Structure 1
Amino acid sequence: MRILHVALGTSRKLGGPTTLLRGLLPVQRERGHEVTIVATDMGAETPADREVEGARARILPLVGPGRLCYGRGMRGVLREEVARADVVHLHGVYGLIIIEAMRAARRADVPYLVAPHGVWTPNHAPNNPALNSAWDRLLLVPLMKDAHRVVADSGRDAGYLRERGFERVTDMALGVDPALHLIDTPWPERRGVLFLSRVARKKRVDLAIEAYAGSRLWEQGHRLTVAGPIEPGLPYDPRELAARLGIAAHVDFVGAVEERERRELLARQRVFILASDDESFGIAVAEAASAGMAVVSSDRVVAMLDAEHDGAARTFPQDSAVLAKALRAAASDDGADAAATLRDYARARWTWEHAAQQIEEMVASPQTTSR
């Protein structure tokens, strides 16, 4: 099968969808598919930001305001690539490259899958609600109605999509780097609390820092590591917050990390924290759990809500005192059993092999049915 993926960009700075692409596409190639990706160079700074293993990549230079996501030569490239594809898989919904790809697929009568990636969950807060509403009504929804499938990141996300009137909705289990399944660091050898993601407004690094301060875990040898690029426009300085709380000497800000460094952090740290306002899935916590870390997350991270529903984890309200208590419990010597339970759950459930198989089933199923 010839699979065309279309995304806003491939830079790691763009978060979850680019992590998905880097995990899914090599597996699709291994399963015998020919994989191509078309995206803009939004946020790309290095050659690695413009490459995705397993796929032939056509990265288009941005033209005009970045929020419009219009790439130079976009229409011609999309017409050409859609014409040779058996299916088009679109990641995200707010960008002209996505709109044009849906139009091209519809004109060529090529089935297309649209993955909104949680933009319509109750806790999602768009920067410009009025503009988003107009975009939805005038451009997006009419094209999505003709999609072969609307792909949800979870069963919860699928429910919200159906509430918006979409009928052909299928949820797809996301996956993690399979190398994380090989990590077997003994619990006594693990040290530290880790935040590993974009330092963005919705990720609530401020709550993570406040919770760490309240936990006093540095007294037990557990430093806090904040790994990930700090997003421009963040309404606070996390370094200043750590200094104000008197814990600057116990917090390491290491910036963006590559895959090898990412695995090393997940292999040696003990507790992962994500107090996010909104995660339609939360690949970062799935990675941490798969690597054997304990996870403390807010009750707005869907991957952990699913694990909680299945009896493999707990989630917590966005309260720094509650999160501090949860950190202390998770980091304790007694926390090993709970971490192992979550690890086994994650390794059985969150795999790219499973995701690739689900996509094949979506394409093979008739458009007139829904699940």
Structure 2
Amino acid sequence: MLRVLHAVASVGDRYGGVSAAVGALGHVESMLRHDATLVSLHRPEQGDRLLSELSSCFDVEVLPPGRVSGRFHGSGRLRSTLARLVPQHDLVVVHGVFDLTAHLCGRTARRYAVPYLLWPHGSLDPYDLREHGWAKRRLAPLWRESIAGASAVMCTTQREADRLEDFGAGTRREVLPLPLPDAVPVAAAGESRERARRACGLPVTGRVVLFLGRIDRKKGLPLLMEAFDLAAGPDDTLVVAGVGDAQLDRSLRAAASARESPGRVVFTGWVEPRRRRELLAAADVFALLSDNENFSVATAEALAAGCAVLLSDEVYLGDELVAAGGAVVTRRHPAVAAMALRTLLTDDRVREKISRAGQDWARWALDRDRVSRSYRRVVEGVFARW
């Protein structure tokens, strides 16, 4: 039985896509009957639901953030914990690049000659590298060492692999999408959609456009709201579900209150898993007009739920979906995005065709068995080259 150690800075409910990715990969490890362990910092303020669920896939070991090192996603016990755990495992999976947990885990794996996969989760994309860019470039030798020591850098889309900045390390790149999560509602239509809308307190008539994710400046929410203003009919509703940047959240709510569009905008705040499923079942269109996005677990959930998906041209998953006819991809311009959204809101035939194709693609490409087989081939390749 293969023993695999995963290390990540946090798996709090509100930590974003990295937490969801770790959870999805935990199910892959279970399917392959690997003996998997997870080490992570514990931040109770980010929520413990996902962490408690991960115990079904991993032996979980959590550490308190350090008083000082916690600012850099580190812990006073991290070094000794990794020195104990890494030699006990056959393979290490490092989640992230620019934090103490990832850096120390990679260094410990190299010290004990244990192969490791590096999963940057988009952090090596040129867009993300602009944040604290001076410091990241200044410390390039550290990142190059971590990347060069990895057996492979794991990407979830081909465009991520093509754009990835490896600081000159030249490390092998593997593309592996994340599998569909559990408990995604099957295509919702007719009575089931009406029932879901009533459960969410949404109008039964009209079309529902859903944004589901972190409230973050890169998510394109001002653009989505402007496009919705231009495209919506009097019975249509835009649902913004999620939490994040409090200042941006207040700004968006104020803008929604001041609008004169015939449609309405509803902000739900934090969404629990059950309500998340209900919102997906209630929605006609899922929209994500990000300035930059890699895989997007929420998009995968929307595809599986039978929503027609509208993405910006900087959501990398859109490349695969457009080829399959499973999404509409638009430029990040209000009038252009509004035209695409209006078609999805008013043309039942187009919306249903796209939703069916997207669901078919998700069931095939993101099937857990299929992803697990691909992951096993990656792991086998690691040991064949080691």
How do 1:187-206 and structure 2 match up within 5 A?
Answer: 189=193, 191-206=207-222
Tell me how large the CA RMSD over aligned residues is: 2.4
Please tell me whether residue 54 in structure 1 is matched to residue 54 in structure 2: no
TM-score, normalised relative to structure 1 = 0.91
| Residue number among 279, 295, 312 corresponding to 1:298 in the alignment | 312
Please tell me whether residue 91 in structure 1 is matched to residue 95 in structure 2: yes
How do 1:276-295 and structure 2 match up within 5 A?
Answer: 276-295=290-309
What residue identity is the alignment partner of 1:149?
A: A
Question: Does 146-155 or 189-198 show the bigger shift?
Answer: 189-198
Question: Does 71-80 or 350-359 show the bigger shift?
Answer: 350-359
Q: Which residue of 1 aligns with 2:32?
A: 31
Residues in 2 aligned to 1:76 and 1:119: alpha-carbon distance in whole angstroms: 26
Please tell me whether residue 274 in structure 1 is matched to residue 282 in structure 2: no
TM-score, normalised relative to structure 2 = 0.87
Question: Does 101-110 or 18-27 show the bigger shift?
Answer: 18-27
Residues in 1 aligned to 2:217 and 2:43: alpha-carbon distance in whole angstroms: 19
The alpha carbon displacement at 1:235 in A equals: 8.7
Q: Which residue of 1 aligns with 2:141?
A: 138
Task: Report the number of matched residues.
Answer: 366
Please tell me whether residue 116 in structure 1 is matched to residue 120 in structure 2: yes
> Counterpart of 1:183 in 2: which secondary structure?
coil
Unaligned runs of 5+ in 2: 195-206
Please tell me whether residue 251 in structure 1 is matched to residue 265 in structure 2: yes
Residues in 2 aligned to 1:205 and 1:224: alpha-carbon distance in whole angstroms: 11
How do 1:1-371 and structure 2 match up within 5 A?
Answer: 1-42=2-43, 44-51=45-52, 52=54, 53-63=56-66, 64=68, 66-124=70-128, 126-135=130-139, 137-161=140-164, 164-165=167-168, 166-180=170-184, 183-186=186-189, 189=193, 191-217=207-233, 219=234, 221-232=235-246, 234=248, 237-246=251-260, 250-332=264-346, 333-334=348-349, 335-366=351-382
Alpha carbons 1:173, 1:354 under 8 Å: kept: no
Name the CA shift for 1:4/1:44 in 2 (closer, same or farther; >3 Å).
Answer: farther
Name the CA shift for 1:119/1:80 in 2 (closer, same or farther; >3 Å).
Answer: same
Residues in 2 aligned to 1:120 and 1:47: alpha-carbon distance in whole angstroms: 28
Question: Does 221-230 or 59-68 show the bigger shift?
Answer: 59-68
Residues in 1 aligned to 2:131 and 2:160: alpha-carbon distance in whole angstroms: 20
Alpha carbons 2:12, 2:48 under 8 Å: kept: no
What residue identity is the alignment partner of 2:144?
A: V
Name the CA shift for 1:112/1:313 in 2 (closer, same or farther; >3 Å).
Answer: same
> Counterpart of 1:239 in 2: which secondary structure?
helix
Report the identity percentage. Answer: 29
Q: Which residue of 1 aligns with 2:202?
A: none
Alpha carbons 1:13, 1:43 under 8 Å: kept: no
Residues in 2 aligned to 1:43 and 1:315: alpha-carbon distance in whole angstroms: 37
Name the CA shift for 1:235/1:27 in 2 (closer, same or farther; >3 Å).
Answer: closer
Alpha carbons 2:160, 2:294 under 8 Å: kept: yes
Unaligned runs of 5+ in 1: none
What residue identity is the alignment partner of 2:32?
A: R
